């Protein structure tokens, strides 16, 4: 991996962890996500117009197909992620979401593409599963487990949609030459349309979100697309198996922010679990 690609991926990791911290604090629902998409579309429109002048294209059939499918997958991802943050801790949901994405991708390749399970991949899968078990630390007292189990469920489900949209968007960028900026912008615009029927009757909630979280919405609207565009740009110069593990260094940042900034419990244990998950992702990437 070149210094240029590494800088793209690590910058994306920092941005990703930061906007997830802001998102956790906001605890928003569909209106929050819809407003975020609107703000993002407005803020990135000048950049898109500039890129179109430089030759980027958004009128081809592959662009519209991949952008629409990416929009659906990202909407599901954001809604599930926000549900997870309302139900569990950042230091539980975030590492599980980021860690199980590569896990699902690898399992799908083994089950459906009949790829062989290599030693490094096996080690990686076990490390990720070990990290999940360390995070849960299930006991027999139900009252101690409800919040953790809820965080685990929504974190893993988020990871599934991370795997789906990552595969979709990687194919768009690497196989069809879709511009990362165009893909992110147009899928965001589609998301505004797709979410509109679900938020049109929630005027009071929309006003409350603007009043209470307008700066959080603007911050996420800038950082979330920027982080993803940087990752997609890196995919143009390096394979997904290299970019994905480096990107997931954000796991450590997310757990650190959850335990230090939000004062969540069991910081050391969750950090150890995150190191296991990150090690598993690296092993998968090297397999």
Tens of pLDDT, residues 102-122 = 778 767 766 765 666 677 777
DSSP 12-61: HHHHHHHHHHHHHHHT--HHHHHHHHHHHHHHHHHHHHHHHHTT----SH
Specify the higher pLDDT residue, 221 or 282. 221
181-184 long-range contacts (CB < 8 A, ≥24 apart) are: 181/44, 181/47, 181/48, 181/51, 181/56, 181/229, 182/48, 182/51, 182/56, 182/57, 182/58, 182/63, 182/67, 183/63, 183/66, 183/67, 183/70, 183/232, 184/44, 184/225, 184/228, 184/229, 184/232
Residues near 173 by Cβ (< 8 Å), separated by ≥ 6? 179, 180, 183, 232, 235, 236
Q: CA-based angle 225:231:232, to the nearest 5?
A: 85
Q: What is the DSSP letter of 99?
A: H
Could you give the number of structural domains in the chain?
1
What DSSP state is assigned to residue 183? H
CA distance 176 to 154: 32
pTM of the predicted structure, to 2 decimals: 0.82
Give the model confidence (pLDDT) of 152-191 as tens digits.
899 999 999 988 988 888 888 888 888 888 899 999 999 9
Domain residues for the domain of 157 are: 3-286
Residue 8: closest CA among 247, 182, 178, 212: 247
Burial letters 66-80, b for 16+ CB under 10 A, else e: bbbbbbbbbbbbbbb
- Tens of pLDDT, residue by residue over 8-43, are 988 998 999 999 999 999 888 899 999 999 999 999
């Amino acid at each position: 991996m070149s210094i240029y690609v590494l800088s793209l991926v690590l910058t994306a990791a920092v941005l990703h962890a930061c906007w997830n911290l802001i998102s956790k604090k906001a605890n928003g629902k569909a209106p929050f996500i819809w407003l975020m998409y609107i703000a993002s579309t407005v803020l990135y429109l000048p950049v898109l117009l500039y890129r179109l002048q430089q030759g980027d294209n958004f009128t081809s059939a592959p662009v519209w197909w991949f952008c629409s499918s990416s929009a659906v997958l990202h909407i599901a991802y954001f809604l599930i992620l926000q549900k997870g943050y309302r139900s569990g801790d950042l230091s539980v949901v975030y590492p599980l979401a980021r860690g199980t994405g590569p896990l699902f991708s690898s399992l799908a390749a083994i089950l459906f593409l009949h790829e062989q399970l290599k030693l490094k991949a096996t080690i990686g899968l076990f490390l990720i599963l070990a990290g999940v078990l360390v995070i849960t630390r299930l006991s027999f007292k139900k009252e101690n487990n409800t919040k953790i189990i809820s965080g685990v469920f929504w974190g893993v489900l988020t990871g599934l949609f991370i795997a789906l949209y990552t595969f979709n968007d990687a194919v768009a960028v690497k196989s069809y030459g879709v511009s990362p900026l165009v893909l992110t912008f147009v899928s965001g615009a589609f998301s505004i349309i797709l979410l509109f029927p679900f938020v049109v009757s929630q005027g009071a909630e929309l006003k409350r979100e603007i009043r209470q979280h307008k700066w959080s919405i603007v911050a996420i609207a800038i950082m979330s697309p920027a982080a993803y565009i940087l990752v997609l740009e890196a995919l143009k110069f390096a394979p997904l198996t290299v970019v994905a593990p480096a990107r997931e260094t954000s796991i450590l940042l997310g757990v650190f922010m959850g335990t230090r900034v939000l004062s969540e419990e069991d910081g050391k244990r969750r950090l150890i679990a995150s190191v296991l998950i990150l090690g598993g992702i690296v092993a998968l990437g090297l397999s």
